[in-house]
Every structure is written in structure tokens, then in C-alpha cells.
Amino acid sequence: MTWDITGSGAIANIGRTPGQIFDALCAGQETRNPLRAFDSTKYRTRHAYEIDDRTGLRDEPWRATKWLVLAVRQALADAGLSEDLSRTPVLVGTTLREQRSTELWWTEGVPVRPSDLHFGGALRDAFGAVSTYTFANACSASLYALGLATDMLDCGTADTVVVAGTDSITESAFGMLDRVQNESPQELRPFDVTHKGMLMGEGAVAVVLQRPGTHDRRPLARLTGVSMNCDAQHATAPDPEGIRTAVLDAHRRAGVSSGDIDLVMLHGSGTPRNDETEAAVLSEVFAGTSRAHAPLMTAIKSMTGHTLGGSGLLSLVVAVLAMERNTVPPVLGLTDPIEQAAGLGLVRGGATAADITTAQINAFGLGGINAVALVEAAA
């Protein structure tokens, strides 16, 4: 069973559309900046991958909601659909929801209505959406939402589902990371020996997923399988077996083997334990693949930062564009790969031309919340 991806939308620190984001990634743009959302002098880490859209010097509420609406609107237009979602489910993956707005209510007295903290209200106002669901599955949230969307299509609940993800930087999450990471990262450098940890990013992403035969659009790509599990082995440390199981199950669901994969969109969070575990598992999974059929691999968090709940879906949108444009963006700043990644086909130094027909997307969250998706080029 496959499902058609017929539209996409996205906003991140490096672009306001999927095309702009992809172009910036291929250009290897360094876009981290000194933190603006709140006073950075209280923290060791002073940089982040923020979207620079504030109207003044102070932070503003409801930014995650604003980006969500923008990404959904782009995806609907790309799919040639109207903005009437009264009969279309919308599934939103997020890590922090509108936590930043509640922080501004607490610290600065910004007016906040509890009803506004639910994305469903904004989606109803913008698109007439009635069936909206929010999934807070950490860094895997949007791929979890994607998997549940396939279930809805298979069960006949809907012919079309909008899947999205959104998050803005919050001070509480930023401060927590600043305290628990052993070193203080000023840049996110996945799989390089200089990696020190994760830096937060911001943005929103959306795709339109439709059941084949229910529309007359040529799909951007086809979703062939989504695997999800929660190994719950450790609160923060990734478990190799849980990740391996998710990857192999995704291959099984999509009916492919490791030799069929042309591109892997890595989770690549830049934390030493996460990078080492992901690289070691993939080295094992692709060990039997000949050099001629070994997949290229990239990690876009090196330029977008970690966009949290929407990060997996954003990697999927980039994978779809890589298929369309026959180009894979590099891992920014990767000059000396960690030992576990030495044999992987990491793209570094610049964008690489490649014929991509099948791509794997990884997303691994705290607590062992793992998700892997497979997409293939539209015929």
C-alpha cells in the first residue's frame, strides 16, 4: 500500500517555503544567530536557529501557531486544494505546543486564553477545520502523525489528511538543555568529532496525504511505509535495538531492502550519544550493501537547528525535493566524521548530484520514541 504526497509547505530559519529552504540547504548556509527570544546571559549557550520575524525587540506569542497556519496554507495550495478543511482531518505533531506563549503570559503578562493554546482553534478559524489532533511525541511527533494519517486513509476515515508539525523556542526547554548537556554547543554539528550537543531551531511544516485513486493530481512523491515504536529503555539515551527495530520494520512495511535505499535523512541531532548510536545502527543495517548501492546520507539540522516535533516531516519534505531536483544537500560543518560514521555515505563539502528514487527518514525522540518513514519518487 502506498499513499500520495500531493502538496507540501514549510517555514524555517533559512526559508519561508520548501523551495527556499532546500536552496539554502544546498548552498550550505550558516544561519545560527545570537539568541533573541530571551536573555541569553543566564545560559552557557548563546545561539539558536531562530526565525527572524518579530516586529520588535521583544518576543511575541503565538508564533508556532502562525507558522502552522502558513505551512498548511502552502501545502493546500501546492496540492491544488481549497482552504476548506471542514471534512479533512488535520494531524499536528509538536514537542512544546504553545508553551512559549504561556511563558510570556507568566513573565510579561501577555494575554493568553486557554482556548488559544490548542492548535485546533486557529485551524478552525483559518480553514474551518473540525477534526484536528495534536501529537506530542517529542522529536518523532510529526512522523507519528504521518503514520496515523496512513491508518485513517486505509480505514476509509478520509480520502485526504493534512499532516503538520510546528514548534517555537521556549526558555524552559532551552534552559533545560543548557543545564543537562555536558558541554555548551554554539553550533549544531552532526556526526563531526567536534559535536557538543543540540541547538534548538524553529519552524513549521505540512504535507497533504491522499489515497491513490481519489484525486487527479500527479503526486510529489509516494509514502510507502511508516514505522513507529517506543522502546522506553532510557529517559534520554537512545537504544540501538529500538532504532534498529524501527528501521527494519519501515523497510519491511515499504517492501524494500537496505540495497534499495538511495538517501537517508538522518535524525542527526548533534548530541554525541545520539549521533554515535544512529551511525552505529545504520552502519550495521547497510553493512551488506555494495559501495555502488550504498545510500547517501545527510542531516539538515546542521542548518535548521533541531525543529523538534516537526523535524522528521521537514526532513521528509527535503527528501521529496532531493528526488525532484536530483540533488542532496550537505551536512554543514562536517569535516572529521566520528568513528561510528566513518563508513557511511555522509554528504559533506557541498551539495551532491544524485538520482534518488527511494529515501528513508529517521526521527528519534527522548524516551525511545522512534519513527522511520520511507518515500519513493512518483512515477
**pLDDT tens digit string along 4-29?**
999 999 999 999 999 999 999 999 98
- Mean pLDDT of all residues in the chain? 94
Evaluate whether 190 touches 139 at the Cβ level (below 8 Å).
no
Per-residue confidence (pLDDT) for residue 28, from 0 to 100 = 96
Q: Is the pLDDT of residue 82 over 70?
A: yes
Residue that wins the pLDDT comparison between 293 and 119: 119
Rounded mean pLDDT, 75-102: 97
**Coil, helix or strand for 160?**
strand
368 pLDDT band (50/70/90 cuts)? confident
Q: In terms of Cα–Cα distance, which of 309, 36, 47 is closest to 198?
A: 47
Q: How far is CA 267 from CA 115, 197, 263, 320, in A?
A: 33, 13, 13, 16
Q: Is the pLDDT of residue 271 over 80?
A: yes
Per-residue confidence (pLDDT) for residue 225, from 0 to 100 = 97
Q: Is the pLDDT of residue 291 over 70?
A: no
Per-residue confidence (pLDDT) for residue 182, from 0 to 100 = 86
The C-alpha cell that represents 38 in the structure block: 530571551
Q: Is the pLDDT of residue 150 over 70?
A: yes
**Coil, helix or strand for 64?**
helix
Q: Is the pLDDT of residue 84 over 90?
A: yes
Evaluate whether 238 touches 279 at the Cβ level (below 8 Å).
no
Q: Is the pLDDT of residue 75 over 90?
A: yes
Rounded mean pLDDT, 335-340: 96
Per-residue confidence (pLDDT) for residue 222, from 0 to 100 = 98
Q: Residue 305 phi/psi, 5° resolution?
A: 70, 180
Per-residue confidence (pLDDT) for residue 290, from 0 to 100 = 63
What whole-number distance in Å separates Cα of residue 132 and Cα of residue 124?
Answer: 9
The terminus-to-terminus CA distance of the chain in angstroms comes to 15
Per-residue confidence (pLDDT) for residue 117, from 0 to 100 = 86
Per-residue confidence (pLDDT) for residue 118, from 0 to 100 = 86
Cα three-residue angle 4-226-24, rounded to 5 degrees: 70
Q: Is the pLDDT of residue 237 over 90?
A: no
Residue 110: how many CA atoms within 13 Å on its side-chain side?
Answer: 18
**pTM for the structure as a whole:** 0.97
Please provide the DSSP assignment of 120-155 as one string: HHHHHHHH----EEEE--GGGHHHHHHHHHHHHHHT
**CB under 8 Å to 66, separation ≥6 — which residues?**
none
Q: Is the pLDDT of residue 76 over 70?
A: yes
Beta bridge partners of 91: 133, 163
Per-residue confidence (pLDDT) for residue 278, from 0 to 100 = 97
286 pLDDT band (50/70/90 cuts)? very high
Domains in the chain with CATH codes: 3-210 (3.40.47.10), 222-377 (3.40.47.10)
pLDDT tens digits along 169-220: 999 999 999 998 888 899 999 999 999 999 999 999 999 999 999 999 999 9
Q: Among 105-109, 175-179, 249-253, which range has the highest average pLDDT?
A: 249-253
